Amino acid sequence: EAQVTQNPRYLITVTGKKLTVTCSQNMNHEYMSWYRQDPGLGLRQIYYSMNVEVTDKGDVPEGYKVSRKEKRNFPLILESPSPNQTSLYFCASSRGLRGEKLFFGSGTQLSVL
Amino acid sequence: AQTVTQSQPEMSVQEAETVTLSCTYDTSESDYYLFWYKQPPSRQMILVIRQEAYKQQNATENRFSVNFQKAAKSFSLKISDSQLGDAAMYFCAYRSALYSGGGADGLTFGKGTHLIIQP
């Protein structure tokens, strides 16, 4: 089954403790991206990747890191999480960039205390 | 930069009736794509419908259809014969057809409309 797998679904952590949210897709998609969703703000893009070893900042990249060492994986790293990074995070992928449908993961609800 | 505006934070409709969700966008581009995504309480993001800006014909998917007015930069979603399973957050999204590099890739979401279905 074609899917984007995110883990974990829920995560509670404390300020400053490094964490990684994993994302993997099995569709051989070139494009992958991370979004955060906050009430009243919709989805905002954090980082995206056009292909292996190619990443770019989105609208809200501060405090986040990503890497794309393999085509299928695109982890999101918070090196020193802060409470303002408490949010619902989505990973998404698509075959290309131009108008292609985005496939979303199930989301990761992160709480930083 | 493009912006997407959903002016209705919440809408309510009786089951079996028709409801229209509004979306307007601002862009200087002529080639782009528009989407409606549905997010039920499960939080899963589900593509409802997709429209290519260079196609004048409005997209339809079963009970879902759009009214795409390119000159007015409007992209409303009509849901006919509303069902309880349609209750969700609905997001309008814009995607540029061009990638200029070095910045956000041109995919912009609205803030969402919460649709309530009254039984």
Structure tokens at A66: 């990503």
Percent of chain A with pLDDT over 70: 97
Residues of chain B contacting residue A58, judged by C-beta atoms under 8 Å apart:
104-105
Q: Within 10 A of A112 (CB to CB), how many other CB atoms are there?
A: 20
User: Residue B30's pLDDT band (boundaries 50, 70, 90)?
Assistant: confident
Q: What is the C-alpha separation between A14 and B107, in angstroms, rounded?
A: 31
Q: What is the pLDDT of residues B41-59, one digit of tens each?
A: 999 999 999 999 988 899 9
Please answer yes or no on whether A40 and B50 come within 8 Å at the CB atom. Answer: no
pLDDT of res. B26: 94
Residues of A with Cβ-Cβ distance to B47 under 8 angstroms = 101-102
Is A56 within 8 Å of B101 when comparing Cβ atoms?
yes
A69 residue type, one letter:
K
Beta bridge partners of B25: B4
What integer is the mean pLDDT of A86-105?
A: 88
Kindly determine whether residue A99 and residue B33, on different chains, have CB atoms separated by under 8 Å.
yes
Sheet holding A76-78, edge to edge: A4-7, A19-25, A76-78, A65-66
Q: Do A58 and B47 touch (CB under 8 A)?
A: no
CB-CB neighbors (< 8 A) of B112 in chain A: 42
Residue A55, Cβ neighbours under 10 Å: how many? 18
Q: Which two tokens stand for residue B56?
A: 């004048």
What distance in Å separates the CA atoms of residue B107 and residue A88, rounded to the nearest whole number? 18
